[in-house]
Amino acid sequence: MTSRNPGAEMLAEALELLRQADRLHRHFCDLNEAAAGGPCWEPPVDIIENERAVIILAALPGVAPDAVKVMTDGASVRIVAERRIHAGSSDFIHRLEIPHGRFERRIELPPGRYEVAGNEVANGCLVLTLVKL
């Protein structure tokens, strides 16, 4: 006989609701910013630091590598581009789960001085390497 843990079930349900809310938040942009030409979504990122560098992986599915702009002011990095919908005017869209439109992601860097040493797209991710100076 298995015992049920109502607390664990409630936690699992709450976590699923949070995942759904996060998905909705990432997929819908602020209409004011979008109307003004501002960014309407932020790509998710992983930030990994080792002794020599900070490596940033930004998920950019369907974004052309030459369309991505990376800017740094030393304290932060900005990634800017646009993901377009790949559907024609006569196409019927059944589902849009991957965010689209103009995006901008500003990432605060750990304290220190950095130089961009690498900027490549691999497996749908921008891999940005910032060498510590």
Give pLDDT tens digits for 77-117. 999 998 888 888 899 888 888 888 889 999 999 999 999 99
Q: What angle do CA 27, 76, 26 make, to 5 degrees?
A: 5
| pLDDT for 2 beyond 50 | yes
* Per-residue confidence (pLDDT) for residue 35, from 0 to 100: 53
Q: Give the CATH fold of the 6-132 domain.
A: Immunoglobulin-like (2.60.40)
* Per-residue confidence (pLDDT) for residue 131, from 0 to 100: 94
3-class secondary structure, 35? helix
* Per-residue confidence (pLDDT) for residue 78, from 0 to 100: 94
pLDDT bin (cut points 50, 70, 90) of residue 126 is very high
Percent of the chain past pLDDT 90, that is, above it, reads 35
Q: Which of 104, 96, 103, 107 is nearest to 130 (CA)?
A: 107
Q: Which of 124, 128, 127, 100 is nearest to 114 (CA)?
A: 128
pLDDT in tens, 27-51: 555 444 555 566 678 899 999 999 9
Mean pLDDT score across all residues of the chain: 84
| pLDDT for 20 beyond 70 | yes
Lowest mean pLDDT among 20-34, 55-69, 111-125: 20-34
Q: Checking phi first, is residue 121 left (phi over 0); if not, alpha (psi -120 to 50) or beta? A: beta
Q: Where are the domains of the chain?
A: 6-132
